[in-house]
């Protein structure tokens, strides 16, 4: 086993009297698809929020490449290559599809005020590069023909794909998807599975996944963590999880 890219230990998050996450530990190997599952309200999204800096965790350590990131604000963590999607799609709805992708490349573009004012060759090159990169990914997610449509007018499944493409614009190392298959029809879920597989195999992205669709989770994950009521319940390969009596009990209740 190689060194983990993301290592979380003893992560806990307290909201007043409520301990939403308690002692969660994750160890994510590079270029793997790692899933987090658990019943509704188990604290999976809270873990995501802690990892991406939207919450300051009450306790625990988050190491990205052996460097602690749990005290950093959200945008700094994103700059280190940890990028997420949201459970409810968060696109820039009034802006066009291609603009959504250009915005996400903000940090990689020529931001010099004067260069932009006078459209210097360097600025044009940077803009053209951004456009080509955006277009490349639009075709990857089959949205090429919608480039100039306002993002809010796309169908739900398309919006989900666009959100993933938008994350890819930031050249992430870890992509965190919060219920990407929610609300998708079976064919779209198949496409999503292919897309996640491609991200891992061709673009060397580590994917962290929260998902309720067990068929998807079991077929694509390299490793699965189960969380129940904020505490880790089990972890292992899909095969181990499927046969774990504790997991079955948490999901189906006591027989």
Binding site for another protein (CB under 8 A): 52, 54, 73-76, 78-79, 83-84, 86, 90-96, 98-99, 102-107, 109-111, 113, 116-117, 119, 128, 131, 135, 147-148, 150, 166-167, 169-170
In terms of Cβ atoms closer than 10 Å to its own Cβ (0-12, 13-18, 19+), residue 109 is middle
Nearer to another protein, 141 or 224 (CB): 141
Nearer to another protein, 86 or 251 (CB): 86
Query: E strands of the chain, at which residues?
Result: 6-15, 18-28, 33-37, 59-64, 67-68, 82-84, 174-178, 206-210, 223-228, 231-236
Nearer to another protein, 116 or 238 (CB): 116
Nearer to another protein, 69 or 169 (CB): 169
Distance of closest approach, residue 13 Cβ to another protein, in angstroms: 18
Distance of closest approach, residue 220 Cβ to another protein, in angstroms: 23
Distance of closest approach, residue 86 Cβ to another protein, in angstroms: 7
Phi-psi region of 84 (alpha: psi -120 to 50; beta: other; left: phi over 0): beta
Phi and psi angles of residue 52, each rounded to the nearest 5 degrees, phi first: -95, 10
Nearer to another protein, 176 or 250 (CB): 176
- Gap between the Cα atoms of 35 and 238, Å rounded: 10
Distance of closest approach, residue 116 Cβ to another protein, in angstroms: 4
- Gap between the Cα atoms of 87 and 127, Å rounded: 31
Sequence-ordered list of residues with C-beta below 8 angstroms from that of 191, at least 6 positions apart, any chain: 142, 161
Distance of closest approach, residue 54 Cβ to another protein, in angstroms: 7
């Amino acid at each position: 086993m190689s060194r983990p890219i993301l290592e979380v230990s003893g992560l806990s998050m307290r909201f007043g009297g409520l301990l939403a996450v308690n002692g969660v530990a994750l160890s994510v190997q590079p270029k793997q698809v790692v899933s987090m599952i658990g019943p509704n309200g188990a604290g999976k999204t809270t873990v995501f929020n802690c990892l991406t800096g939207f919450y300051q965790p009450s306790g625990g350590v988050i190491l990205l490449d052996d460097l602690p990131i749990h005290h950093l604000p959200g945008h700094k963590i994103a700059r280190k290559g940890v990028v997420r999607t949201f459970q409810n799609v968060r696109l820039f709805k009034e802006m066009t599809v291609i603009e959504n992708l250009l915005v996400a490349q903000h940090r990689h573009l020529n931001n010099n005020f004067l260069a932009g004012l006078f459209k210097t060759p360097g600025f044009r090159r940077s803009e053209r590069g951004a456009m080509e990169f955006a277009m490349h990914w639009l075709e990857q997610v089959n949205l090429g023909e919608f480039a100039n449509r306002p993002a809010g007018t796309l169908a739900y499944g398309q919006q989900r794909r666009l959100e993933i493409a938008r994350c890819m614009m930031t050249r992430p190392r870890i992509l965190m998807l919060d219920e990407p298959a929610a609300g998708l029809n079976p064919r779209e879920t198949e496409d999503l599975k292919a897309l996640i597989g491609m991200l891992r195999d061709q673009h060397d992205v580590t994917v962290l996944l929260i998902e309720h669709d067990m068929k998807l989770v079991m077929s694509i994950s390299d490793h699965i963590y189960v969380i129940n009521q904020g505490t880790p319940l089990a972890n292992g390969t899909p095969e181990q999880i499927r046969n774990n009596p504790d997991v079955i009990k948490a999901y189906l209740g006591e027989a």
